[in-house]
Amino acid sequence: MTPEVLVRAEQVHKSYHRNDVLKGIDLEVRRGEVMCVIGPSGSGKSTFLRCVNHLETIQHGRLWVDGRLIGYRQRGEKLYELSEREQARQRADIGMVFQDFNLFSHYTALENVVAAPVLVRGEPKAAVVERATRLLERVGLGDKLHTYPRRLSGGQQQRVAIARALAMQPKLMLFDEPTSALDPELVGEVLDVIGDLATEGLTMIIVTHEIGFARQVADRLVFMDGGHVIESGPPADVIDTPQHPRTQAFLSKVL
C-alpha cells in the first residue's frame, strides 16, 4: 500500500452458506477521500462496509486499513483470525454509524459519547467529557447533553451516534445508510452533519440511497450490484453519464 491509500480491499469474497454476497471486491480509498457507495438492496454494500471493520468475516481476499491487515494475522500463505481483544483494538480506529443508532437507552447523550473512550481506551474521564461536549455542540445538540435517547428524535439520536463515533478520534468513518431509519423531514439534519465532516478532510465510506447527497459530498461514487463493483468514478460522471447498462438502469429508476 502506498502512504496515501488508507483503505484497500483486494478480491474480497463473503458468503452466507451458499449465498455469495461479495464476489471479489477490489477498492482503494485515499486519505481524506469521501467515497459513497450506491446500489440496489442486496447488492452487498452494507456487507462490504461491515467487513472493513471485521464485523463480518471474509472467506477470501484481504482488507487493509492504514497498512494493517484487518481481522487477521498472516503467516506464510495462511490467515489466522485475531483475538477478540485485538479486533476491538483495530475497531477503535474505525468509527461506524449504523442505520438504527444503537445508543445505550440508560445513558444520556453525553454519557453515550463518553463511554467508549473511557472504557475502551482508558482515557481520563474529565478530558473525554470536555471533548464529548464539544462534539455534541458541533452536531447541534449542545442543549441535549443530559437528555436520554427516548426523549430525542430519530435525527437527534443519529447525531449523537455520529458524535459517539467521532469521540474515538478515528482514522476512518463508516456510515451504513445513516438516514434510512429516519422520517423524511429529519434526513436533512443528519446529512448536514456528515457534509460538514466531508469538508474537514475526514476519510469516509458512506453507503447511501441519497443520490443528490452523494453527488454533493463524494470525491468518488461507487455503484455495486450483485456483489460486484460495477462502476466507479467522479459522482457527476457516474450519475450523469453512466457507462454500464446496469448503472444506467438503476439510476433511471431512482433519479
Query: pLDDT tens, 77-127?
Result: 899 999 999 999 999 999 999 999 999 999 999 999 999 999 999 999 999
In a domain, 9, yes or no: no
Answer whether residue 31 shows pLDDT above 80.
Answer: yes
Query: Could you count the other beta carbons within 10 Å of the beta carbon of residue 22?
Result: 27
In a domain, 13, yes or no: no
How does residue 18 score in pLDDT terms, banded at 50, 70 and 90? Answer: confident
How does residue 5 score in pLDDT terms, banded at 50, 70 and 90? Answer: very high
Domain count, the chain: 1
Which residues form the domain of 152?
34-54+84-254
In a domain, 239, yes or no: yes
**pLDDT, the chain, mean:** 96
Answer whether residue 64 shows pLDDT above 90.
Answer: yes
In a domain, 144, yes or no: yes
Residue 3: per-residue pLDDT: 83
Task: Please classify residue 188 by burial: count the beta carbons closer than 10 Å to its beta carbon, then call 0-12 exposed, 13-18 middle and 19+ buried.
Answer: middle
What gap in Å lies between CA 40 and CA 184, rounded to an integer?
Answer: 19
In a domain, 59, yes or no: no
Residue 65: per-residue pLDDT: 97
Q: What is the average pLDDT across 187-206?
A: 95
CATH of the domain at 45: 3.40.50.300
How does residue 177 score in pLDDT terms, banded at 50, 70 and 90? Answer: very high
In a domain, 17, yes or no: no
Q: What is the average pLDDT across 154-165?
A: 97
In a domain, 8, yes or no: no
Residue 77: per-residue pLDDT: 85
In a domain, 74, yes or no: no
**Residue % of the chain over a pLDDT of 70:** 100
- Give the residues across from 94 on adjacent strands: 172
Q: What is the average pLDDT across 37-56?
A: 97
Residue 171: per-residue pLDDT: 95
Answer whether residue 2 shows pLDDT above 90.
Answer: no
Cell of 136: 455534541
* DSSP strand pairing (34-38 vs 220-225): parallel
Q: What is the average pLDDT across 48-59?
A: 96
Query: Which stretches of 76-219 are assigned E, i.e. beta strand?
Result: 78-81, 94-97, 172-176, 203-207
How does residue 40 score in pLDDT terms, banded at 50, 70 and 90? Answer: very high
What gap in Å lies between CA 241 and CA 230, rounded to an integer?
Answer: 14
What gap in Å lies between CA 164 and CA 93, rounded to an integer?
Answer: 13
